[in-house]
């Protein structure tokens, strides 16, 4: 069941509705808020919507890099498992 959770982004209170645990929602909102604060301090965009868009791009970049790393590790693991399986099969 979705519950209302109040969070704050860039000084604005927002009420989110989520099935997720409240601590998780607050953790995610806190992360977004920190990214928005970082962008606001470094880039000095004129509007909150500009800050939000730049923060979203920063978060998307982080996500994509982590996903690419995860995919590469998964491929490497698959290769190692195939080699291990082949080696074990040859020893039988």
Model pLDDT for residues 54-69, shown as the tens digit of each residue: 999 999 999 999 999 9
- Could you give the CA distance from residue 40 to residue 35 in angstroms, rounded to a whole number? 8
Instruction: List residues bridging with 13 in a β-sheet.
Output: 8
Instruction: Answer yes or no: are the C-beta atoms of 50 and 31 closer than 8 Å.
Output: no
Distance CA 9, CA 34 (A): 9
Q: How far apart are CA 53 and CA 88, in angstroms?
A: 52
pTM score, two decimals? 0.80
Q: Is the dihedral of CA 30, 36, 42, 46 positive or negative?
A: negative
Residue with tokens 């195939």: 82
Each residue's pLDDT tens digit, 26-60: 999 999 999 999 999 887 767 889 999 999 999 99
What was the pLDDT predicted at 55?
A: 96
Query: By the 8 A CB rule, do 32 and 9 touch?
Result: yes
Which pLDDT value is given to residue 38? 93
pLDDT in the model for residue 45: 67
Residue 74 has pLDDT above 70, yes or no: yes
């Amino acid at each position: 069941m979705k519950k209302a959770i109040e969070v704050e982004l860039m000084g604005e209170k927002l009420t989110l509705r989520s099935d997720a645990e409240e601590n998780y929602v607050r953790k995610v909102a806190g992360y977004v808020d920190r990214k928005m604060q970082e962008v606001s301090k470094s880039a000095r965009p004129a509007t909150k919507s500009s800050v939000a868009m730049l923060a979203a791009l920063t978060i998307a970049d982080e996500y994509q890099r982590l996903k690419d790393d995860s995919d590469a590790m998964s491929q490497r693991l698959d290769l190692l498992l195939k080699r291990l399986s082949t080696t074990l099969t040859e020893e039988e």
